[in-house]
Amino acid sequence: MLETQKPNTMHWASETDYNFISSILKFKNNKRLLLDGLKPNGKKNNYWQDISVDLKKHLTGEIKQGGNLCYEENGNKVAKAAVCDVDEEIDPHVFCRTVFAIDTTAIPIRSPSGKNWHIWKFYNAAVPVKEAATWAKEIGFKIEAKKWKVDFGKCNPNFNGSDVGINFPFGNNIQVPYDPRGETYSCKNLKHRIRFNNFPYIAAATNLKSGKNRYDAALFSASMLYAAGKYKDEYLDAIIENFGTKFDDDKKLKKIKAGEYKNYTFKPSTIEQKIGEMIGVKDFKFNTDIADTEIDELLTPLELFEYTGKEILRAREWVIKGWLLKKALTLLVGQAGVGKTIFIAQLAAALAYGGSILGKKVLETGNVLILASEETQNELRLRIKAIVKLLELTSSDQKIFMRGLEDQIKLVNFTMDKALKTKEYKRLELSIKKYQIKYILLDPLISFQTGAYDENNNAKMEQFVKDFIIPLAVKNNGAVIAGHHTNKFSMISIEDDGELVVDHQIALNSARGASSLVAAARFVLAFQPMTKKLFNKKFEPHLKDGSKFTNYAGLIEAKSNYNVVEDDINWLKKNSVSLEVVDEAGNVSEESLGVFTTTDLNKISKAKNKLKAEQNEQFVRANLHIIKTLMEDDECTLNAAVEKLVAYDPAHADPDVEEGTIKTRIRRQLENGLNGKADSKNGLTNQGISFDDGYNYWIARDHSKHGAAKIFIRRGKDFKR
């Protein structure tokens, strides 16, 4: 009867280590060796079961298991690990350095008794079972030559793959791995050791504690990686992180990374000498050719996260709802002179001072940095001062920092095959931390790169934005806002019946250059200049302040990944604000600056839209008796209705009016008139309009069809009655 153990709360491996251990400890399925306590004579009570190893229960200590390291892969017998059983109690300091001297890839692990030893080798990829079995036997012979007892019958795997069992390690704080000095590894150390197992010096330096000249260990490790053509800063960081005690001499670490490691080359005999000094072995020798070694990047299954429906749902981290979200990029696009820089200055003021901006509430303030490559610092100060004056902003605990045209920096340097952070980018990262910058405004975005860059190249634009710009928002848990120029597309149009239509798709695609920029941004706000034609036709008769079309610009919410964008354009007015200024000679004068405010033009547009909607609905009601005659099974195509109604239109008799123009107008009137919604008594929403015949009529689309045939007028019982 299996004696199930209580889970060990102090087990060596944590839940997060499961993927790593399952990648190095592979075994035969549907067969496991149980360790069920001890027999009266003190021997282990092991027996086989025809059931697969439950590795998670093994790692928690709940069920102690073992198995056969030979398993089948694509019809072949393979192994990812091999083990030699040393059936003798030996001092760990003596045993571990001896094992490392025999084979620098071998890792000693205590046996279940806590006295004897198992010697393991973990392969980066599965090898033929004979190769693994040969290694286990050969190291056994070398250990036996040291006059230590080896149980060859338990060396695993067997040459033919037959069932020979070994108790698996890692399931408690006894069966743990040791470094060449006889000190225990953590699971993190073991992962690092296996990763760099082909570099004997780095393997020996893993878990190296203070007092062992770890600066030299880090420097020499970097030099050996460099000699093998494998050096990376991240590898050096990993070596430092896997010392046995904390190494926090940042000054020396920066010195190594600055290139000090390039100044050292080592003969194999010198490397052997230094390893011997680290582990306490005189005349240490190894047979590895450093130039041919590879770093074993262990591939473990990606951790996946299950949706259960029981998770606590966290609110989105809005800064300005619909415009700015933490850790995201907001793109401001518009033609030169439309007012992007004014808006950026207002946004900076709002994010620092709080309150609202153009009707949008600022939910969280913070320190702001403006990087403007086309405006001087003085111009930025003038703009912010004008905003503060007009909007009567009070003092704030948050600060606004800036760099202007005279301090222009480049953040990313593009070569033909890669992109690199510039020195200024790295200094900016330090400044973000020093000044606790939360919001970064870049204008224009394209000015902050240099080298072999093409703004029409999707790959380079995506790399620029995703690898360098957006991470700035992630690092400071804030947001990045970037200005960008547009092609000269009009984002609005006036229909034949005078209706103002906003084309969000054109607004979205108006950004100049590669489309990957818009794709990477979570929000896109587009600026549309007011045209003289539009102003004269739609708005001038309603304005009494003598303002001109040049005083206005429209703000369009072109894209939001997290909320529904506003349908209408938000018309803004550039108000003139006078500031007292002093020239270099000390003379006092005044400068005029523009500041945006919301306008009543939005109300005019909405009132007209409401009136137009009512007129369209009246048109539909007046013609439903004709449309009903076309219906079969309670539907007809919109195209059929348009063709029928053309003949009833008064303009049809006018030879100067083209039939296509009439059809376009009727189609729009029908779609708009039948797209309304009304709440019913029971709280449900009726689509379309209700008619006196007891039916509800609405527009429906069948996207499996093409052209005009996919749009229908349908009817159903009006259930609100």
CATH code of the domain containing 565? 3.40.50.300
Token look-up 């790399």 returns: 463
Tell whether 1 is covered by a domain: no
Q: How far apart, in Å, do the first and last CA atoms of the chain sit? A: 72
What is the spatial distance between Cα 215 and Cα 217, in angstroms, rounded to a whole number? 5
Q: Is 718 helix (H, G, I), strand (E, B) or coil?
A: coil
Q: What's 47's domain CATH number?
A: 3.90.920
- Verify cis geometry, omega within 30 degrees of 0, for the bond prior to 7: no
Q: Do residues 666 and 642 make contact, with C-beta atoms less than 8 angstroms apart?
A: yes
Q: Dump strand ranges (E) for 311-392.
A: 318-320, 324-325, 329-334, 356-357, 360-361, 367-372
**CA–CA dist 360, 353 (Å, integer):** 14
Q: Do 239 and 126 sit in the same domain of this protein?
A: no
The amino acid occupying position 96 is: C
Q: Which residues of the chain have pLDDT under 50?
A: 1-9, 289-292, 678-685, 721
Q: Got the DSSP string for 573-617?
A: EEEEEEEEEE-TT--EEEEEEEEEEE-THHHHHHHHHHHHHHHHH
593 is a domain residue: no
d(CA 529, CA 550): 8
- Residues 487, 403 share a domain: yes
- Looking at the structure, tell me whether residues 199 and 133 fall in a common domain: no
540 & 428 share domain: yes
Q: Element (H or E) spanning 687, and its range?
A: strand 685-687
Q: Within this chain, do residues 482 and 335 fall inside the same structural domain, yes or no?
A: yes
Is 124 strand, coil or helix? Answer: strand
Residue with tokens 């793959």: 161
- Residue 400's nearest CA partner among 389, 384, 424 is 384
- Give the whole-angstrom CA distance, residue 87 versus residue 96: 15
pLDDT at 336: 86
List Cα–Cα distances, 687 to 342, 485, 567, 624, in angstroms: 42, 40, 19, 16
The secondary structure element, H or E, covering residue 139 is helix 129-144
| pLDDT at residue number 608 | 64
Residue 203 CA to residue 179 CA, distance in Å, equals 9
In a domain, 437, yes or no: yes
**Residue that is last in its domain, among 130, 154, 184:** 184
Domain assignment present for residue 405? The answer is yes
Are 464 and 446 in contact by the 8 Å Cβ rule? The answer is no
DSSP summary character for residue 290: G
Query: For the CA atoms of the chain, what is the radius of gyration?
Result: 37
For residue 484, is it within any domain? yes
Beta strands in 106-205 (DSSP E): 107-110, 117-128, 166-167
Q: Cα separation of 615 and 613, whole Å?
A: 5
Is there a single domain that holds both residue 352 and residue 492? Answer: yes
Q: Judge contact between 90 and 97, C-beta under 8 A.
A: no
Distance set, CA 197 to CA 18, 104, 186 (Å): 21, 7, 16
Q: What is the amino acid identity at position 331? A: L
Q: Give the model confidence (pLDDT) of 160-171 as tens digits.
A: 999 999 999 999
Q: Which residues of 300-338 are buried (b: 16+ CB within 10 A; e: fewer)?
A: eeeeeeeeeeeeeeeeeebbbebbbbbbbbbbbbbbeeb
CA distance linking residue 165 with residue 174, whole number of Å = 19
Report if residue 333 sits inside a domain: yes
pLDDT at 623: 93
Rounded Cα distance between 467 and 425, Å, is 12
d(C-alpha 6, C-alpha 421), whole Å? 52
Task: Give the Cα-Cα-Cα angle 634, 639, 642 (nearest 5 degrees).
Answer: 100
Rounded Cα–Cα distance for residues 712 and 5 (Å): 69
The token pair at 251 is 């000054």
Q: Which residues contact 683 (CB under 8 A, 6 or more apart)?
A: none
Q: Identify whether the C-beta of residue 379 lies closer than 8 Å to the C-beta of residue 406.
A: no
283 assigned to some structural domain: yes
Which helix (DSSP H) or strand (DSSP E) does residue 420 occupy? strand 419-421
Provide the pLDDT for residue 399.
95
Q: CA 277 → CA 214, 281, 384, distances in Å?
A: 12, 7, 64
- Going by C-alpha positions, the residue among 98, 75, 93, 221 that lies closest to residue 148 is 98
Asked whether residue 173 falls in the same domain as residue 209, the answer is no
pTM: 0.55
Q: What CA–CA distance (Å, rounded) separates 51 from 504?
A: 61
Q: Which of 184, 216, 245 is the last residue of a domain?
A: 184
Same domain, 448 and 536: yes
SS3 assignment, position 630:
helix
- Residue from 469, 462, 466 nearest 447 by CA: 469
| Rounded Cα distance, 511 and 489, in Å | 10
- Tell me the residue type at 61: G
pLDDT digits (tens, 9 = 90+) for 306-353: 889 998 999 999 999 999 999 999 999 998 889 999 999 999 999 999
Cα 140 to Cα 48, 193, 295, 480: the distances in Å are 25, 22, 26, 61
447 & 531 share domain = yes
Query: Could you give the dihedral angle defined by the CA atoms of residues 619, 623, 625 and 630, in that order, rounded to the nearest 10 degrees?
Result: -130
Distance (Å, whole) CA 108 – CA 99: 7
Helices within 521-573 (DSSP H only): 532-534
What DSSP designation does 30 have? T
Contact predicate 132/157, CB 8 Å = yes
Question: Is residue 361 located within the same domain as residue 499?
Answer: yes
Burial of 19 (0-12, 13-18, 19+ CB in 10 A): middle
**pLDDT of the residue at 4:** 42
Q: Which of 145, 142, 148 is nearest to 102 (CA)?
A: 142
C-alpha dihedral sign at 89, 91, 97, 101 = negative
In a domain, 557, yes or no: yes
Task: Assess contact for 324 and 368: CB atoms under 8 A.
Answer: no
Full domain range(s) for residue 237: 193-292
Instruction: Say if residue 390 is in the same domain as residue 527.
Output: yes
Domain end position, chosen among 534, 553, 573:
573
Predicted pLDDT of residue 673? 87
Query: How far is C-alpha 605 from the chain's CA centre?
Result: 40
Instruction: Please state, in angstroms and rounded to a whole number, the distance separating the CA atoms of residues 622 and 286.
Output: 96
Q: How far, in Å, CA of 643 to CA of 664, rounded?
A: 11
Neighbours of 647 (CB within 10 A): 10
| 620 and 695 Cβ atoms separated by less than 8 Å | no
- Report the domain count for the chain: 4
Bridge-based pairing state of the strands 523-529 and 329-334: parallel
Contact 553, 339 (CB under 8 A): yes
Within this chain, do residues 483 and 380 fall inside the same structural domain, yes or no?
yes
Residue 247, both tokens: 């190494």
Longest Cα separation, the chain: 114
